[in-house]
A and B are shown apart, each in its own frame.
Chain A
Amino acid sequence: MKAYPLVAGLIFATSAVAETPTLTVYAPDYFASEWGPGPGIETAFEERCGCDLVYKTGELLPRLLLEGEKTEADVAIGFNSDITKKARESGLFAPHGLDTSALTLPVDWSDDTFLPFNYAHTAFIYDNTKITEPLTSFDALLEAPDDLRLVIQDPRSSISGLALVLWVNHVYGDEAADAWAKLAPKIVTVTKGWSESYGMFTDGEADMVLSYTTSPAYHIIAEEDLTKSAAIFEEGHYFMVELAAKLAGTDNPDLADQFMAFILTEEFQSMIPTSNWSFPAALPKDAWPDGFQDLPVPEKVLFYSEDEAAAMRDEAIEAWRSALSQ
């Protein structure tokens, strides 16, 4: 079998380094990929710690829960606040012991275990050359003509899709079902994940796509394309934060602590905007890159605690499902 030497080489290459201590960081696939923030963070941290930082990717929480106490992970990065309840209940994580007063989030944050490293707001992105009169409220979106083509993600398979149903719940409360009924005719389709939706939007198949307030920054900075904007709604936007945590059973507690502390440094934080394409969690606005400083952001930020999110998730998804199944 010709493939064998190559495969074997790949297997053994990853386990060759032995002398220097290794910090194993579990991260979502996008984070550790060549085009995510992972590689830059790895280089910067390895210079500080004299260690080897290794990413392991995959479905973050399911993988950790599968491995349980036996996990190799020292640190896990990339949780979303809407599903941390399950993570916390697993008892796999230890308090980070850091002073979080330097956080620059638009919401108060005082979690002793899960440390934010970036955030954004759920938002609808549109092409400002095609939609010249921006929608300024969720109500306006609901009342928009039905030929406005929206594409969203499925809350059962996508974290941004879940954020949307929580957003609708936050804005409309008991009338969420009616809101969905009004939105339904405009929703061209629902996709499994964010990439399918965003691809449909950039292909022109949809006028608006569910994404983040920070999405236009990629087009502005990387492509010098000023045509993509986020519609800012006066009712407020649902807040999405990504988190890191230290494993209680880590073999390298000192390195893990060092990495957690590194997250809050300016060096780490200043890498976030143009690699994660989101707002840094602990960096004053004047230190953000140009394209980010000018991004329109909502005045009002909506957010559910993990307990609230967990409690209303099933109901919110059901409201979405029954309205869109008509």
Chain B
Amino acid sequence: MAQRAVAITTATLVAGMVLLPVAAVLWRGGGPGTLGPADWAALRFTLWQAAVSAGLSVALAVPVARALSRRSFPGRVALIALMGAPFILPVIVAILGLLAVFGGRGLINQIGAPLGLPRLDIYGYHGVIIAHVFFNLPLAVRLLLQGWQDIPAERFRLAASLGAPVWRVLEWPMLRRICPGAFTVIFVICLGSFAVALTLGGGPRATTVELAIYQAFRFDFDLGKAATLAALQLALGLAAGAFALRVAPKGGFGVGLDRQIDRWDGTGVAARLADSLWIALAAGFLLLPLLSVALAGLPGLAKMPPEVWAAAARSLALALGATALTLALALPLLTGAGETAALMGISVSGLVLGTGYFLLLQPVIRPGDAALPVTMLVNALMALPFVIRILRPGLEGARRDYARLAASLGLSGWHLWRIVYLPRLRRPLGFAAGLTAALSMGDLGVITLFADGDNATLPLQIYRLMGSYQMESARAAALLLLALSLGLFWVFDRGGRLHAAA
């Protein structure tokens, strides 16, 4: 079948785009390096924090997404879009935003101290978890929210008319389907944590594999060790992917007619109160640090150096390119095996990936010339797992519900995608494109390896400003980045929703 051939080709391509650079680094490093006790300790901590962070993010996302799915209030759409922002912030900006709220001199302690509340000390293992939940809760909420939206309204009506418990007959089966994938994606993101884990973890207790890779690369120039550690990350990511495939049951709901979800349960006062509380807590947790990022950026906005605008334009172009590339790679890969192949992209250290591309391209092209395309490619590879996770349930649903009708009408190949699947996937496509664009905007990534002075992206420019003591301009540039990322996300996400209701 042609479609299967395309899927296999793309999966091989993606796997190659990840494995080849890692192999190149390994080869250049003269074979695998040996790992010491500190490396194994780092590996244990990495695994632990990734599992806890992912578990907690998904667990907390359940009540929040449920509340958001069944309550309507003014500003709901804006809130959902804004809540996605932590996910796309450059790490350094997000850390400072988090500390402005949860830090020793942060908002909470400033309010709490006069009231005699015990001091909140963010630094430690719990800090790592809080920070990772801050980054990933929004993604988990969006993935689950989509799960709720995919339950046809008719089912809620049926459950209501039968007096059946909605949680048991509709929500729990949906969660069992969606949660393993959401957990895996977040687990794999957290595997690569470095600066966040270190800073919020309060020191070397919170050493991750990524830090060990950085050290091996930068100070020891031990490429063999860097590649070995990267391969280890890869194995963990793949194992997590395989786990999710095994755990998540297949199948799902029949189709509904795209009507807005009206529900007949959860109308009691207690349920309303609980939902409001969850929404308020999540919004406060996610939005206060963002607000502090925004406020810190305002004073410097007026005198922002012109180079920042140039970098912003470059980042926008990069983001759009990465989005197109990601979607082109994602659509043929919407299968279980494809999803696992795609997980490789984000499992592996960006540093090793970048170094690998550097080694591969060096004989052919000046690495500096390839900086933006390679950054685009790496961004696309990193976004691929999210995009596939977002699109797959939608495509499976569309297949299940419309494959027979489409076949009886003789729709196949491109016509099938154009007339049936792409329109059916419109909403998740918008979300996925928005996420990729925003993610790509905020990624510092491999550009630091290649940048030639005049092709800096906006996140790189923020680091440069900070490195030159220009904290105020850096904060203003961070605000610009936040606004642009959110803007991109909003445009795509909104584009997917417009007219999608009917």
Contacts and interface: CB of A to CB of B under 8 A. Distances in A.
Please say whether the chains A and B touch (CB closer than 8 A). Answer: yes
Interface of A: 1-4, 6-7, 10-11, 13-15, 29-30, 32-36, 38, 54-59, 61-63, 65-67, 70, 72, 83, 86, 149, 154, 156-157, 162, 187-196, 198-200, 202-205, 215, 218-219, 222, 277, 320-321, 324-325
B105 interface: yes
B453 A56 contact: yes
15 contacts: A1-B325, A3-B321, A6-B317, A11-B369, A14-B455, A15-B366, A30-B464, A54-B453, A70-B362, A156-B207, A156-B219, A187-B202, A191-B195, A203-B96, A205-B99
Nearest to B127: A189
Given A6-B314, A56-B452, A35 B468 contact: yes
Interface string B269-297: 00000000000000000000000000010
B128 to A, nearest CB: 11
Interface in B64-114: 92, 95-96, 99-100, 103-106
B125 interface: no
A205 B38 CA distance: 29
A52 to B, nearest CB: 13
A192 B471 contact: no
B450 interface: yes
B465 A188 contact: no
Interface in B24-41: 28, 38
Interface of B: 28, 38, 92, 95-96, 99-100, 103-106, 123, 194-195, 198-205, 207, 211, 214-215, 217-219, 221, 296, 305, 307, 313-314, 317-318, 320-321, 324-325, 355, 358-359, 362, 366, 368-369, 372-373, 376, 448-456, 460-461, 463-471, 474
Contacts of A222: 469
Given A191-B195, A198-B469, A61 B221 contact: yes
A10 B466 contact: no
A56 B99 contact: no
Contact of A7 (B203, B373, B465, B468): B373
A5 B97 CA distance: 35
B456 A33 contact: yes
Among A6, A61, A198, the one with the most B-chain Cβ atoms within 10 Å of its Cβ is A6
A58 B451 contact: yes
A29 B467 contact: yes
B325 to A, nearest CB: 8
Contact of B469 (A54, A86, A203, A215): A215
A146 B469 CA distance: 28
A229 B472 CA distance: 19
Nearest to B307: A34
A14 B104 contact: no
A3 B317 contact: yes
A185 to B, nearest CB: 11
B314 A34 contact: no
A36 B470 CA distance: 11
A192 B373 contact: no
Given A14-B368, A190-B204, A324-B203, A195 B467 contact: yes
Nearest to B196: A192
Among A72, A162, A190, the one with the most B-chain Cβ atoms within 10 Å of its Cβ is A190
A32 B362 contact: no
Contacts of A192: 194-195, 198-199, 211, 214
A202 B211 CA distance: 25
Contact of A72 (B305, B366, B372, B468): B366
B452 A55 contact: yes
A54 B452 CA distance: 9
Contacts of B451: 29, 57-58
B450 A198 contact: no
Given A29-B467, A30-B468, 9 more contacts: A2-B317, A65-B221, A157-B211, A157-B218, A190-B199, A192-B195, A195-B467, A205-B99, A324-B204
A196 to B, nearest CB: 6
A67 B28 CA distance: 11
Given A7-B321, A29-B451, A66 B199 contact: no
A196 B105 contact: no
Contact of B38 (A56, A188, A215, A321): A321
B466 A195 contact: yes
B202 A188 contact: yes
Among B204, B215, B362, the one with the most A-chain Cβ atoms within 10 Å of its Cβ is B204
A188 B314 contact: no
A129 to B, nearest CB: 15
Contacts of B221: 61-62, 65, 86
Contacts of A1: 320-321, 324-325
Contact of A154 (B198, B307, B469): B198
B100 to A, nearest CB: 7
Which 4 A-B residue pairs are closest in the complex by CB-CB distance?
Answer: A3-B321, A35-B468, A195-B466, A33-B464
A189 B200 contact: yes
A11 B169 CA distance: 56
Given A29-B467, A196-B95, A3 B320 contact: yes
Contacts of A196: 92, 95-96, 195, 199
Given A3-B321, A11-B369, A58-B449, A325 B204 contact: yes
B183 to A, nearest CB: 27
A62 B217 contact: yes
B47 to A, nearest CB: 18
B202 A189 contact: yes
A191 B199 contact: yes
A61 B449 CA distance: 11
Nearest to A201: B471
A3 B464 contact: no
A211 B461 CA distance: 21
Contacts of A200: 96, 99, 103
A229 B436 CA distance: 44
B369 A191 contact: no
A205 B104 contact: yes
A29 B448 contact: yes
Contacts of A83: 219
B263 to A, nearest CB: 41
Given A29-B451, A33-B453, A324-B204, A66 B362 contact: yes
